[in-house]
Structure 1
Amino acid sequence: MSQPDRMQHYWRGTKMIRYFSAAILWFGGFGLLAAEDEGLLLHYLFEWGDETVVQDRSGGNRHGQIHGAVREASEDGYVLKFDGKNDHLEVPDSPALSPEKFTLEVWAKPSESPAPLIARNYNLGRFSYCLRIASSGNKLYAVILDKNSQTEYDLSAPAELEVWSHFALTYDRDWLRIYVNGEQKEYRPMKAADGGESAIPYTAKPVNIGRSFYLDTWTYFTGTIAEVRMYDRALGAAAIKKHYAQGNPAVPAIRTGEAVQEDPSQLSLVKNGIAGATIVIPENADYWTTIAARWLREYIYKVTDTELQLRTDAAKPSGTVISVGHTKLAAAAGVDAGGLKWDGGKMIVKDRTLFLIGRDQKKLLQNPNRAARGTCRAVLTFLERYCGVRWFLPGPDGERVPKLANIAVPIDLSTTVTPAFAYSDGRFPYHRGFLSLSGETPGAIANNYRLGIAANTGGHTWYAMVPTRKYFDEHPEYFALIDGRRTGSGNHLCTSNPEVKKIILRHMQRQFDEGYEMLSIGQEDGYLRCECAECEKLDDYRWSPKGRPYADFLYEDQGLRATPCDRLFLLHKWVIDELQKSHPGKKVLLMAYGPTTWPSKKIENWGDNVWVELSIQEPEVIDAWKDKVAGITGYVYWFDIQLPMGMDVHATPAEASQRIRFLHENGFVGLYHFPETNWGMVGPVFYLIGKLMGDPYLDYQAVVKEYCDGVFENAGATMLEFFDLLYAGRSEILSLEERRPIKHPKGMTTADIYINHYPAEKLARLEQLLQQAEKEADSDRARGWLRLTRDHFDFTTLVTKMVTAHRVFQKDGNPENWRELKRRVDLFDDFREKIISYEKAYTNRWFPGYDHFCNWMTGDAKHESTVYYKPWELRKPKVLKKGIRGMAIGYGGGFGYSFIKEPLTLDFSEVQD
């Protein structure tokens, strides 16, 4: 063995833990870069991937395409072996790979010369930059191109064949420097460009690793490469030397005589596929602590193929420990959930123990999912940050789990994680099942579709508190006097009746006794006031369905704002004040909806135990409530498929990002919303909103890119372009505010939405991109998720072309247009017959939101109560028996609902003359 190889053995042996501890954190686009890796554009190691793709660990997802080169295992890692004939690694062009400053680093063992390491051509005879071993075999040669596209600046340094070497080239717009094995060998000045132009000219060419092109000839590298890095800045000499000192990832560690030194800055948990830690939980662990430990063990095994032992804290195991939950170890170390709110968590290292702990609900509710699970959050945050796991869609195929040999955390780790929003209620898209009203999966918690406090939210509570079916027969006086009669229909209550107040109070007291931290209070939907003399004395609220439209009354200066429905507020205030006496510290969520949209003028402040849930989140409504309550939440209508937007895109990533940030900056701490179906078109938005509820200041474009790369893999870049085009231009057609039912333009129907959002040229380009992605997909997983997008996009295309043909026929009802309209309707009916006939085994795996999609496509414009809330499996036999021909789509059939009747309901059996 040569002396340089022996040196690499030494460095590898003494520094391997530091190297792997840093490297494994940054899988694909899923990691957070350390400060020293700021500006990292490419990072290739070769222990993970397949025969055709090398995963980029920089976070930029600039994956390399392998052509011929072969991944080979060494004792401690993998290398890429090139045969010098046509083997190479190609990195597709992207703007990031055209930096004004840069660093190139390569661990390589060339066996023949010339040996191109990294090259990017400018044209047939010039390189924008190139690093190669010269023909002589004893010289490293570097070149970059001047902005004039003609002058080349070059450097050279001694090099050797058949030995491992670390080569580096840096450029900072003033100086070009070349390094070999951590030492600067040569440098020269290079004049930077004027006027902000790039000092190096670039054209749309890929970056080639292991080959270069000059005039009419390709030259190929012969030998082995173990690592490649590229930065958009010039690393200093100390950083280059440090990377060299960390060692060659492909050279085995010394295993005879010399001990492998641990990196004192890292706590190793799994090393080279061998368990280095034990998971410990409390001896009598609660439900969610047990689940958290199970998830931790399960995903570490998925990542490393290594199973960690799980023990209780009855006796502390020797060695490194991962303490999950409120263990004796945590108590002894002074690690607790102090200072946390909602379902916040902590990750702390003390005395070679990693503590994963959070604020947990102490009393288990009947529904254990409506509770704070901070220890689960700590575990899932660890899995995201230090194992690279992501949960993009529901189910196992929605996960992205890297394969790693090593897991480690900083020895001085001390991190607190608290989501920006206390809860997300309504629908839980990361839980399988119809009307998913829970959030018990890892994806639900990691993506913040969960309740971080023990709460019942969402509004209309009178139905459950004073139900007509229970009280009306014996106590009609509990219910509203309307047109001279006590009326049970609609569950409208007499707000002045003292027994009604007491029933509501006792109901909420019982729930608080069960362990809830917060409960909602709110009148029934479609509220009608009680007209008895005592109720009418309480305010001047006199709106009636026989009068002007409620939407007008809501906003008029002399409408609801001037005459708030104080009878409701006064009832609720009495209940809240009594609850503060019996259950101090508990919170009440006051619904501000319909007649309670604007605050009472009789109640200046509701106290520290009251949050308000605003169904309208406009600035003037927020300002009216802001100083009257302790917290604000929102009942947000986006993605509710009952509303006019129906099955289309309700919000784009840019709109969602802007909206979540706006709500956060205005004090909102909770959301009730409806993300539940159309994952094929809106999946990136669902994932993004979840992440924004954790941190409203994330870069939405980076999150959407992460989703596309993580879900569609090799087709990620094309699908990113697909979604960018899909979401483009929507705000100009219909603003986000106008997509709500109360503001929706009365002249714009669901059919209008499709016609306006999907002109023919846009549909054609989207189709091209989707076909391209389908060709690029090279795994069953990517193809499976592309099929979901295909189904939702085909639905959109068929609906748009059908309603467009209907408009054409309405303008000119000639036989040719009639036949074309019939053809379009038949095509759509064929499509929905196909969709509703899918096997359950398929839809459970690949079609989240399937029930809602089928219900909407077969809703026949009926009231949502007869369709929306019923599982598709219960409706399916009846629908199939009746047949879908002539059946409208959507719900309600009136203003404020999503539906399309004609042309689906037209009788095409008659010949049109």
Structure 2
Amino acid sequence: MEPGQKMMRLTCAMLVTLAIIGNCPAQPSRTPSQNPEWRNALKPRGRKAEPITLATNGKSRYVIVTPDNPTSQDIKAASELSHWLGKITSANFQIIRESELAPGSRFISIGSTQLLGNRQLPDLGDEGYAIIQESGNLFFVGGRRRGPINAVYAFLEEDLGCRWYDRYEPDILHVRDLTVAIVPRSYKPVLHIRDPFYWDAFDPDWALRNRTNAPLVKIPEEWGGVTDYAWFGHSFDWLVPPEKYFSEHPEYFSLVNGKRTASQLCLTNPDVLNIAIDKVKALLREHPNCELISVSQNDCAGYCECANCKKIDDPEGTPAATLIMFCNKIADAIKDEFPNVKVSTLAYMGTVKPPKTIRPNERVVVQLCTDRHAWKRPFLTVLETEQFSSALKGWHAIGANTTIWHYTVNFHHYPVPMPNWQVVDRDIEILIRYGAKGIMLQGAYQSPGGESAVMRSWVWAKKLWDPSLKTIDLMRDFVFGYFREAAKPMWKYYQMIWDIWERNHKRPTDQNQLICGIRYYPDIVFLQKQNYLDEALRLMDEARRLAKDPITIRRVELARLPILYAQISQEIGFVDYYGAFQPRLRADADRKRLATLLDDFERIAKIENVTHIREGAADFPKRIAELRHALTFSPDTLQIIKLEDAWRAKSDPTDVGTSQQWYASSFDDSTWTRTSKSGKGVTWFRQRFVVPEEWRSRKHVYIWFSGVSEEAIVYLNGKPVWEQSVRTTAMPRMDLRSRPFYFDATGRTTYERNRHPLLGFPGFEFPKEPWIQYDTENTIAVRVNTSLGSGGISGPVYLVATDEDWLPVRPD
């Protein structure tokens, strides 16, 4: 089945765990009811009402009643209830207006009918609901917007056990006799914005059924809509476009290091404020249903340092001061014409810290981003890194109206397995405790195929709706309901992912394999064969053998995609943060077996319409082509010289080598020890080599390190050329000990130049002439920093000449 084609499959939830009693013969199909280990994690808590029978032998015993003047939400709620009860029982549940109700008829009342009488209801806000049973009749009542629809889906999901795990196939019970004992209750969600920001969660029908409120999901206004943005995210370039204003009015933009730059706006310039107010008003007139508009910094630093901005920001201790003042003024300027609109602004990068005395007014929403935490420590909770923890508590202390932008995926490897279930579970609860009114969990938003994206979307939708639910229970509900007969090995797999975090979180920092950045590589230590891959593959193979019907097979294969990606990356290669292909293919590799794995990965990805492996432009075809090229490439075309194993080495316990230029070509290292080993701390290694003259005609000369323990800065002929470190790789220190790396010694790099690891490093610049010299002596110096014990140059180093724009295979 191609993605985008919606199919209907009537399946059956596990009746013994539902509040359903009576004669329920299931249709002869593979359904969750055949799996005795499925549990309804959404089962409502409380005392059940007396059982009522909604249908007998495929005939409805109830009618659905709406007010005589129903809202569009009432109409949608009644339609959805009639549709799904009909699918469950094959009965026709008629929808009528309350004035058409015959005396003595059994009914299900939708919305604020007169049948409710003078019953006092709790405050249900915009999206809350109440489910009431009285005299054998049901009442589904809701808040001002999607409340009635939420009541219907709460009943279907929580009381009847229906599921819409993904956007394609409903998992619902199928019975001809339906008797149910509901739990009367009311509920109002804690969070106004509930946004599992994954491609899989953007379908409006899925979002409606799973009760998310995600600003970019196009739920129609007549169904209650969502909390809409007129503009979402970074907006300064839209408010005051540099291409329109910078040449004539550079004073509108940031003064950085004495020079005007279009990185950000000068927020104390009155003309900038007026232009922004006009732009905001014009856009809001085009989008009359919007509740929010983003007035937010660009996706970079470079805050204004002019005298007027510094006069405000410096005493307040943060560039958020001028930002909040700017947003307050815009909010005040638009409030008369747009009384229901609030100004949202990102507290991001340099503005994450709140001002000391300046306060956002009641019409400004601070969207606090977790970049200062999650980018560096995605497997710790938000209270475990000081900078973000302080910011979170600070904004809460000054009474800011906050929502959260949280990062939950590896943005450079969407499919790579990520054991962060417990972290997100705890973070949601922490963020709410510190005043968050909305949470966005940014994941693989550009394409299907993100790691466990379907499961993450569903589990996190439920957790955001009701934060008291436990993630492990929701995961179990999903696995045993979604994977059906293949659920047992799939559950073991997700328990293994769960245990990776549990095991590592208890370890000291220097032994924790998860102390890494969010853009870690797919061959990171906790995903390697002995730690993860072998067992993951075995469990996926078992699940595939157990899967019988096409739907379950497709679901298992989609879940298998991340494991295949990890395996292919570890055995063939992957693209690193800097845009270069990192080869992992060894000379003795079974290329036929790897080609089969790659075929399998590509087949599944194409079925699911995967377009992105990493954030940015669509790159799936390019990634596949690179992997295939590596498999067919002949290493015989490479010219290789191995450097000496024994380097000249000297310990640098006081770290004076950089200031004393131990990297310089002319530096005298004749008294240094001959070795490739080092102890703890900083050690310098040097040697000299000659590049043959005939290599001058080759497009690239790469220098390949098989490994350095642990962090390295490499100098070539006195110039800094590369850094391999925790900072530049987002990898844990223990992982760097045997991690190969390479760079182009000519400087004709194919790396994304705006991401070179030494940008901003003293003395670094892209060369006009090659760093290396041909047919003469070159000097290479490596500053190695080891903190976990003995270290040094832990493997051979090679010179590799080729016309390839990246190394398709390992030279070692």
1:384 equivalent in alignment to 2:157: yes
**In the alignment, which residue of structure 1 is the partner of 2:494?**
723
Residue matched to 2:611: 851
For 1:614, give the aligned amino acid: L
CA offset digits 1:440-472 (Å, max 9, x no partner)? 214554253635852428542323333334555
User: After superposition, where does 1:292-331 map in structure 2 within 5 Å?
Assistant: 292-312=77-97, 315-316=100-101, 319-326=105-112, 328-329=113-114
- The question of whether the paired residues in 1 share the 8 Å contact of 2:214 and 2:227 is answered with no
Query: 1:271 corresponds to which residue?
Result: 56
Q: Tell me what 1:521 maps to.
A: 295
Instruction: State the TM-score, normalizing by the size of structure 2.
Output: 0.62
Amino acid in the other structure paired with 2:520? T
| Aligned-CA RMSD value | 4.6
Residue matched to 2:174:
403
The aligned residue for residue 47 of structure 1 is 25
1:779 aligned residue? 549
* CA contact 1:833–1:884 (8 Å) conserved in 2: no
Contact 1:637–1:673 at 8 Å: present in 2 too? yes
CA contact (8 A) 1:322 1:354 kept: yes
The answer on whether the counterparts of 1:713 and 1:782 sit within 8 Å (CA) in structure 2 is yes
In 2, Cα distance between the equivalents of 1:794 and 1:775? 17
User: In structure 2, how many angstroms separate the alpha carbons of the residues matched to 1:62 and 1:472?
Assistant: 60
**What is the match of residue 341 of structure 1?**
125
- The offset of 1:705, in angstroms, is 1.7
Q: Take 1:277 and 1:419, find their aligned partners in 2: how far apart are those partners?
A: 29
| Residues 534 and 312 of structure 1, relative CA distance in 2, 3 Å threshold | same
Q: Does the Cα contact within 8 Å between 2:128 and 2:142 map onto a contact in 1?
A: yes
Q: 1:381 offset after TM fit, Å?
A: 0.7
Match of 1:48, SS state, is: coil
The 1:538–1:440 alpha-carbon spacing in structure 2 relative to 1, beyond 3 Å, is: same
- Counterpart residue identity of residue 376, structure 1: I
Q: State how 1:867-906 maps to structure 2 within 5 Å.
A: 867=617, 870=618, 885=629, 895=728
The question of whether the paired residues in 2 share the 8 Å contact of 1:612 and 1:629 is answered with no
Does the residue aligned with 1:589 lie in a helix, a strand or coil?
A: strand
Q: CA deviation at 1:380?
A: 0.8
Which SS does the other structure have where 1:669 is aligned? strand
Residue in structure 2 matched with residue 660 of structure 1 by the alignment: 428
Distance 1:515-1:686 versus aligned 2 partners, 3 A rule: closer
- Partners in 1 of 2:342 and 2:537 — Cα distance? 51
The alpha-carbon deviation at position 636 of structure 1 amounts to 0.5
Q: In structure 1, the residue corresponding to 2:54 is in which secondary structure? A: strand
What is the deviation of 1:593? 1.0
Alpha-carbon offset, residue 304 of structure 1? 1.0
2:472 to 701, 712, 726: 701
Query: How far did 1:839 drift?
Result: 8.9
Q: Structure 1 residues 307 and 359 mapped into 2: Cα distance closer, same or farther (>3 Å)?
A: same
CA distance in 2, matches of 1:683, 1:900: 34
**Matched residue of 2:438: which SS?**
strand
- Amino acid corresponding to residue 323 of structure 1 in structure 2: S
Q: Which amino acid aligns with 1:648?
A: V
Q: For 2:138, what is the secondary structure of its paired residue? A: strand
Alpha-carbon contact 1:886-1:905 (below 8 Å) kept:
no
* Residues in 2 aligned to 1:376 and 1:901: alpha-carbon distance in whole angstroms: 55
2:442 maps to which residue? Answer: 674
Cα distance change on mapping 1:503 and 1:54 into 2, 3 Å: closer
Letter in 2 for 1:395: Y
State the secondary structure of the residue aligned to 2:312. coil
Task: Note closer, same or farther for the CA distance 1:675–1:303 as it changes in structure 2 (3 Å cut).
Answer: farther
Cα distance, 1:421 vs structure 2: 2.1
Q: Distance in 1 between matches of 2:106 and 2:322?
A: 62
Does the CA-based 8 Å contact 2:55-2:179 persist in structure 1?
yes
- Indicate the percent of aligned positions where both proteins have the same amino acid: 20
Question: What letter is aligned with 1:843?
Answer: E
Secondary structure at 1:606 match in 2:
coil
Structure 1 portions without partners, runs of 5+:
1-25, 35-42, 64-262, 362-372, 542-560, 807-812, 845-849, 857-863, 888-892
Map of 1:800 onto structure 2: 570
For residues 426 and 458 of structure 1, the distance between their equivalents in structure 2, rounded to whole angstroms, comes to 16
Contact 1:680 1:793 in 2 (8 A): no
Output the amino acid matched with 2:142: G
Deviation, 1:509, is: 4.6
Shift of 1:563: 4.6
Q: What does 1:279-298 align with in structure 2 at a 5 Å threshold?
A: 279-281=64-66, 287-298=72-83
CA distance in 2, matches of 1:737, 1:387: 46
Deviation at 1:731, TM superposition (A): 5.6
Does the CA-based 8 Å contact 1:454-1:516 persist in structure 2?
yes
Distance 1:757 1:763, change over 3 A: closer
Show the 5 A alignment for 1:59-458.
Answer: 60-61=37-38, 265-281=50-66, 287-312=72-97, 315-316=100-101, 319-326=105-112, 328-329=113-114, 333-334=117-118, 339-350=123-134, 353-361=137-145, 373-396=146-169, 399-408=170-179, 414-425=184-195, 427-431=197-201, 436=202, 440-443=204-207, 445-446=209-210, 448=212, 450=214, 454-456=227-229
Post-superposition offset of 1:354: 2.9
Distance in 1 between residues matched to 2:134 and 2:142, nearest whole Å: 16
Which residue of structure 1 lines up, in the alignment, with residue 367 of structure 2? Answer: 613
Q: Secondary structure at the match of 1:540?
A: helix
Shift of residue 507, structure 1, vs aligned partner = 4.3
User: Shift of the alpha carbon at 1:389?
Assistant: 0.5
C-alpha distance in structure 2 between counterparts of 1:900 and 1:267, whole Å: 67
Greater Rg over alpha carbons, structure: 1
Residue 525 and residue 758 in structure 1: after superposition, are their counterparts in 2 closer, same or farther (change >3 A)? same
What is the identity, as a one-letter code, of the residue corresponding to 2:435? G
When normalised by structure 1's length, the TM-score is 0.56
- Which secondary structure does the structure 2 equivalent of 1:524 belong to? coil
Query: What displacement does 1:626 show?
Result: 0.9
1:470 to 1:312, Cα distance in 2 relative to 1, 3 A: farther
User: Partner amino acid for 2:547?
Assistant: A
- Offset from partner CA, 1:68-94 (integer Å, 9 cap, x none): xxxxxxxxxxxxxxxxxxxxxxxxxxx
Aligned to 2:403: 633
Q: In structure 2, how many angstroms separate the alpha carbons of the residues matched to 1:495 and 1:384?
A: 49
Alpha carbons of structure 1 residues 662 and 584: separation in structure 2 relative to 1, 3 Å:
same
The residue aligned with 1:166 is: none
CA distance in 2, matches of 1:711, 1:485: 57
Work out which structure has the larger RCO, using CA pairs closer than 8 Å and 6 or more positions apart in sequence: 2
Cα distance change of structure 1 residues 360 and 651 upon mapping to structure 2, 3 Å threshold: farther
**Cα distance in structure 2, aligned partners of 1:565 and 1:407:** 58
Q: 1:600 aligns with which of 337, 355, 368?
A: 355
In structure 2, C-alpha distance between the alignment counterparts of 1:474 and 1:757, rounded to whole Å: 53
Aligned partners of 1:519, 1:337: CA distance in 2, in Å? 33
1:625 deviates by 1.2
